Amino acid sequence: MTTSDVITQIEGKVGRIRLNRPKALHALNTAMCSAILEALEAWRTDPAVEAVMIDHAPAPDGDPKLSRGFCAGGDIRMLAESGAKDGAEARAFFHTEYRMNHALFTYAKPSIAFMDGITMGGGVGLACPCDFRIATENTKFAMPETGIGLFPDVGGGWYLSRLPGRIGQYLALTGHRLDGAECLALGLATQYVPSAALDDAKTRIAADPQRMAAILGESAQSAPEARILAQRETIDRLFASDELEAIYAALEADGGEWAMQTLATLRTKSPQTMKVSLRLLHEGATMATFEDEMRQEYAVGCRVVQRHDFLEGVRAVIVDKDNAPKWNPDTPEGVTGHVLDQIFAPLPQSDEWTPA
């Protein structure tokens, strides 16, 4: 099964999913998610497939500019264009993407994702459900959605809420980029493997998936220092609250260079979707199942994608590139509990997300 944007094939004893949209840094569209879902379902009961491997195809002619991404997210332009109309195409994308996320999360066969390059948004949703998540010196991992008026979806409310201390809240609000060593230290990655060793590891795994853990152990090396851990105490203290106003106040009261830089970063983000993110992580921490998480994120996503801040964020960052979004409301105080309740309200049963 091959499409222009994703290649799915059996290689040796593994089902291989290769993202193949290099000019968009392998950002996902609906057809790609459908093709991945189809492959996962076909391989689920195929005795010839013992494991699933996810990576990105090499860039044409080895162009380094096109080799920077594992998966840079989703089709943001389409989502905004749909959100400005009836939102139907955006809802179809979310529904299919979240089914793919859930299928990977519940997959019975071992799975492995190679996060060699930019791993953001939709790429996080592909990698985090996998049993093995490989970071390299090229990994740049982030959930930067609040900068375009969106929120960390594709299971972000589940994964980020389970990180140590308040690091998940910090990442959700600021969109801070983690490197491969930091991903390993936080448990977002399971191994740190030099990019030069990946091809050999993939070949060996395809030949003998039952030895996947051992092969990765033999390929891995010690990671550099995880720089974010030096800020762990500060992050836990200043991001302790689930109220955005209290986080602002804590940063202002601290007054240090790191706190002031972080506060300046937050002031560039959408107050509405920062509050959405805090609530998402607060509720995600106690979700009984990943299915429950995805059902809630779908309801939230269907609404947020049609609100002013997302359309304005995409205009400012993706379309006009002036990087000067005019958020509405433009302060945390302007985002009321009533607005959040509307965004988080369950959908009618006939419109709810359901797993594949």
**What's the pLDDT tens digit per position in 214-258?**
999 999 999 999 999 999 999 999 999 999 999 999 999 999 999
Put the strands of the sheet holding 191-192 in their side by side order.
6-11, 14-19, 51-56, 111-115, 132-135, 191-192
Give which of 109, 324, 135, 318 is closest to 216, Cα–Cα.
135
In tens, the pLDDT along 255-269 reads 999 999 999 999 999
pLDDT of residue 341: 98
* Cβ count near 229 (within 10 Å): 15
Percentage of residues in the chain having pLDDT higher than 90: 95
CATH number of the domain residue 201 falls in: 3.90.226.10
The domain total for the chain is 1
Residue 83 CA to residue 304 CA, distance in Å, equals 9
pLDDT band at 3 (very low <50, low <70, confident <90, very high): low
Residue 210 CA to residue 206 CA, distance in Å, equals 9
In tens, the pLDDT along 143-176 reads 999 999 999 999 999 999 999 999 999 999 999 9
Q: What is the mean pLDDT of the chain?
A: 96
pLDDT of residue 60: 75
156 in Cβ contact with 276 (< 8 Å): no
287 domain-assigned? yes
Using the predicted structure, report yes or no on whether residue 1 has a pLDDT greater than 50.
no
In tens, the pLDDT along 280-296 reads 999 999 999 999 999 99
**From start to end of 107-266, where are the E strands?**
111-115, 118-120, 132-135, 140-142, 178-179, 191-192
Using the predicted structure, report yes or no on whether residue 66 has a pLDDT greater than 70.
no
83 in Cβ contact with 90 (< 8 Å): yes
CA distances from 286 to 9, 157, 281, 290 (A): 37, 10, 9, 10
pLDDT of residue 59: 77
Window from 6-20, 61-75, 223-237, 315-329 with minimum mean pLDDT: 61-75
pLDDT of residue 58: 84
Sequential DSSP letters for 165-185: TTHHHHHHHH-PPEEHHHHHH
* Tokens 């529904």 sit on residue: 95
Percentage of residues in the chain having pLDDT higher than 70: 97
154 domain-assigned? yes
Catalytic residue ranges: 74, 122, 145, 153
356 domain-assigned? no
Structure letter (DSSP) for residue 47: T
286 domain-assigned? yes
11 domain-assigned? yes
57 in Cβ contact with 25 (< 8 Å): no
Q: What is the pTM of this model?
A: 0.96
pLDDT of residue 4: 86
233 domain-assigned? yes
306 domain-assigned? yes
Mean pLDDT of 117-142: 97
Structure letter (DSSP) for residue 97: H
Mean pLDDT of 320-341: 97
Residue numbers of the domain that contains 252: 6-351
28 in Cβ contact with 122 (< 8 Å): yes
1 domain-assigned? no
Put the strands of the sheet holding 118-120 in their side by side order.
69-71, 118-120, 140-142, 178-179
